[in-house]
Amino acid sequence: MIIKALIPVKSLSAAKSRLAAHLTQPQRRLLVLDMLHHVIFALRESGALASIAVVSPDPCVLEQARAWGALALVETQQGHNPALHAAALDEKMAGADALLTISADLPLLQPDDIRGMVERLRHSAVVLAASREGTGTNVLLVRPPLAVPYVFGPGSLQRYSTEAREQRLAVSIYNSPGTALDIDTIDDLEALWRSSEAIRGALAS
């Protein structure tokens, strides 16, 4: 099975605006790129993917993506979901049997998370990884690409589940710290710091 990955990334000038009261624009820019680098690395290390592509309107993001071994795709449609739909259609036409669409801001993501989701694809056409609050979707894995339409946004986990059920597609929900913690607010950053401290403590003991 040929499984490809898409990572959407906003323009760096608009990224992580909810952290503006806590981080400067250069700090937010660095945070976005550091997390993207980590996600690309985890995807590559999983060994489960035929290709990894970053979709963005930002030339700097795309340049970094290439440097880190990912394909760079310029957004051809405005809006998060339309841009992903266009990129997914290209991947489907290029021979992808399944497509994993993943948030770029998952600093705890592990290669085993990707392997675990791919394993579930054996029995489910739609595999979803829930966000920390349990209503959003941080990773979407579907077979074939565009088996369900992109509906990222508030309440997307339920919307994806509903779309799949309406098309009689089996759904699996994947939960792990690596796929759950995305960074949008200062509370998310504090949760990341706590997790990092716990990991360092475990390694030191």
Confidence of residue 196 (pLDDT cuts 50, 70, 90): low
Domains and CATH numbers, the chain: 3-204 (3.90.550.10)
The model carries a pTM of 0.91
CB contact at 8 A, 181 and 192: yes
pLDDT at 184 over 80: yes
Q: How confident is the model at residue 100 (pLDDT cuts 50, 70, 90)?
A: very high
Whether 203 has a pLDDT exceeding 50, the answer reads no
Percent of the chain having pLDDT more than 90? Answer: 75
- Residue 124 neighbours by CB distance under 10 Å: 19
Burial of 134 (0-12, 13-18, 19+ CB in 10 A): exposed
Q: How far is CA 8 from CA 40, 54, 98, 167, 200, in A?
A: 12, 6, 17, 25, 30
Task: Judge whether residue 165 has pLDDT over 70.
Answer: yes
